[in-house]
Amino acid sequence: MADPQKVLVLRLAGPLQSWGEQSRFNRRETRPEPTKSGVLGLLAAAQGRRREQPPGDLLDLSLGVRTDQAGTLLRDYHTVSDYRGRPLPQAAVNAKGTQKPTSPAKYTHVTQRYYLQDAVFVVAVAGPAGLVDSLAAAVRRPAFPLALGRRSCPPTQPIILGLHPGSLNDALQDQPWQAGPAARRELRRRHGRPPRIDLPVTIETPDGDDVVHDVPLSFSLRDRRFTSRRVAHSWVAAPTGFPDPDEPTDAGHDPFALLGW
């Protein structure tokens, strides 16, 4: 009998995140939402897998991402130089595999790295129940530090929101809105206290109408390889956690409510 499917629901939030689909020399960009390579890398780190190990069974997992708080883009400006005062090497190598020096000599490189600030995502990972249960246990007690795309981007708690027996879409639709206090105050100011909010989702599916190149075939630093997958973009109406104004309440008068207690 085949192992039933289960969905692990994660909350990926932190001061900074960076989900690069590709990096070119001195420019490292970020996609507006977590990539499959980044999420599988986080799960592999939790399990204590080494970079040289192939992703293996992790490639069978399907991914869904809901954007609860899009955040803003940050450009981090860097300069790089050799502390010994030597010219910097260029990207090309000689016959011995050693990087060639820049010609004419260049002593400073300008690099730019992009991050998402204050973003919050709900990520659903679907796969065989046994594998998903083991991943949930690993994320609760990770072997290596977890990161949101780069080592310099640690996640805030909680990371695990729970396990779900349904589909990716059901898991993303049922999970309450995870945005921070400022976003919740803004929603209240503009729309009162709606019981649900429409949020964008990206779901991995064979008949998806978009293609992303973020499936890792190898995490090795010397042999990083990726392939593509198909995804579909849509919306779900997720619960906000605010009380439904149409539902009666018998809470009665609270004399301390005005004080915010």
Q: Is 213 helix (H, G, I), strand (E, B) or coil?
A: strand
CATH number of 5-80+103-238: 3.30.70.2660
Task: Find the mean pLDDT for residues 151-157.
Answer: 94
With 0-12 / 13-18 / 19 or more C-beta atoms within 10 angstroms meaning exposed / middle / buried, residue 88 is middle
Degrees, nearest 5: CA angle 61-67-71:
130
**Could you tell me if 35 and 212 are in contact, meaning their C-beta atoms sit under 8 angstroms apart?**
yes
Smallest CA-to-CA distance from 59 within 67, 68, 71, 49 is with 49
Confidence check: pLDDT of 18 > 80: yes
Which of these, 235, 187, 241, 234, lies nearest to 210 by C-alpha position? 234
Q: Find the mean pLDDT for residues 98-105.
A: 82
Range name among 41-45, 80-84, 137-141 with the lowest pLDDT average: 80-84
pTM over 0.75: yes
Instruction: Specify the 3-state DSSP secondary structure of 257.
Output: helix
Mean pLDDT on 119-137? 97
- The span from the CA of 46 to the CA of 214, in Å, is 20
Does pLDDT of 166 surpass 90?
A: no
Lowest pLDDT segment from 3-7, 15-19, 62-66: 3-7
Mean pLDDT of the 222-241 span: 92
Query: Comparing 151 with 96, which gets the higher pLDDT?
Result: 151
Largest CA distance in the chain: 82
Query: In the chain, what percentage of residues exceed pLDDT 90?
Result: 64
The phi, psi pair for 116, rounded to 5°, reads -100, 130
Q: Report domain extents, the chain.
A: 5-80+103-238
Contact 121, 67 (CB under 8 A): yes
40 — phi, psi (to 5°)? -65, -35
